[in-house]
Amino acid sequence: MQQNWKEWVHVTKLDPDKTISPQAVEDVVTSGTDALMLSGTLNVTPENMRDLLDMVAAHGLPLVVEPAGPECAIFDGIDLLFVPSVMNTDDARWIVGKHQAWLRRSNGSIHWEKVVPEAYIVLNPASAVGRVTGAHCEISASDVAAYASVADRYFRFPIVYIEYSGTYGDPAVVRAAAEAVENAVLYYGGGINSAERAAEMGRYADTIVVGNAVYDNGTDVLRATVRAVQ
């Protein structure tokens, strides 16, 4: 499992702060998506994270938790913990500070074999993650490429994640990031609510992440995005 994640091309992101029915969960896990990522920015607690995990755990898909903070970095019942650092912020809490706090409170209980670091490049200034982390979102494609290269070649993050979070991004920016990355897996997330958009971003990103479409457009659209990249 720890190595198979590098082969995923489609990941579905579910938000603990949003409501989803058991039938919708069943439709998601049978859509053909490679994995489920449990992740959110606002109002994510250990309790609602655990509630969502309990809903999806029995279905057999790989389960990833992407914690918004140290309090949600759980290991029980999951396959992997994707831990983000935001590259394009001046606020060191979101690069390394939260991570140091996580280790301080862990008392040596971190399952390192499940931990996968992510280098986030956040590009939607109106998004919750953009506002919370103070990310510099309105930057050029060459700036994004430089951040991606620093994350990949200098810090050696195994994942570089281009995050437009709720809006559809610029394919030229994602292409620039793809051309800059040598070793990391390139993730793209944001605004993928059709097969056409999935295919377009799937040409440049190794893995696309579909989230809001599950809640806003339904699981038929999710299935269409899966077919577009697999």
User: Which parts are annotated binding residues for sn-glycerol 1-phosphate?
Assistant: 13, 161-166, 191, 211-212
Instruction: Find tokens 């198979």 and name the residue.
Output: 4
Question: What is the rounded distance in angstroms from the CA atom of residue 13 to the CA atom of residue 197?
Answer: 16
Burial of 224 (0-12, 13-18, 19+ CB in 10 A): buried
Per DSSP, the three-state class of 99 is helix
Q: Is the dihedral of CA 39, 41, 43, 47 positive or negative?
A: positive
Question: What is the rounded distance in angstroms from the CA atom of residue 219 to the CA atom of residue 222?
Answer: 5
Question: What is the rounded distance in angstroms from the CA atom of residue 100 to the CA atom of residue 106?
Answer: 10
Strands (E), 15-154: 35-39, 63-66, 80-86, 115-122
φ, ψ for residue 117, nearest 5 deg: -75, 145
Residues making up the annotated binding site are 13, 15, 41, 161-166, 191, 211-212
Question: What is the rounded distance in angstroms from the CA atom of residue 106 to the CA atom of residue 101?
Answer: 9
Residues making up the annotated binding site for Mg(2+) are 15, 41
Q: How many CB atoms lie within 10 A of CB 2?
A: 11
